[in-house]
Amino acid sequence: MRLVVLVSGSGTNLQAIINAEAAGELAGDGWSVEIAAVGSNVPDCGGIQRAQKVGILTFAVPLERGATPNRRAAWNLQLAAAARTHRPDLLLISGFNRILSAEFLTAVGVPVINHHPSLLPSFPGNHGVRDALAHGVKVTGCTVHQVDPGVDTGPILAQAAVEVRADDDVSSLHERIKVQERRLLVETLAGIGAGTVALSG
């Protein structure tokens, strides 16, 4: 299974996948998951640098600040076309800081998955950790889900719970969530590759 990963930041989740692939955790009897390419809207971000360091192909499709709706629509199609050149079977959004349109999902032509720092459907959107703390929940966590045109509304593939401690702030809670998120992401990719985790479409 050829995986294309979209990143915008430091790429710590990407690094977990790179490490898992190198350790043989993303291959089994008759199946394997390989990172075919890493793409970004930020050409020099840490995720791109991590990929280049280990010889993974990279690509960048920047989007300028304040882009018009027409420009954003064109950018979505350009990004989908760039991803398609690497012949993916699956696309992962991992710390990508731009919302992708329904037209992107159609144009890229393969299932798209994402990870989110809450137990969806609770606390969708950009502030899942902050919102969980604000609501006073005792347990939150992380979710790997398939992407649909809504905001964090696609089919849930896997979840892991994380206890909220009395002294937690957003930073400390998010760090513990990230540990589980990396593990869950690798396990879910392995499950998709092995056929034990089913995708829609």
Catalytic residues: 116
Q: Which residues contact 146 (CB under 8 A, 6 or more apart)?
A: 111, 112, 113, 114, 154, 155, 157, 199, 200
- Strand pairing category for 139-146 and 156-163: antiparallel
Q: Which among 167, 24, 190 is positioned nearest to 113, based on CA atoms?
A: 190
Q: Are 97 and 41 in contact (CB under 8 A)?
A: yes
Question: Tokens 């959004």 map to which residue?
Answer: 93
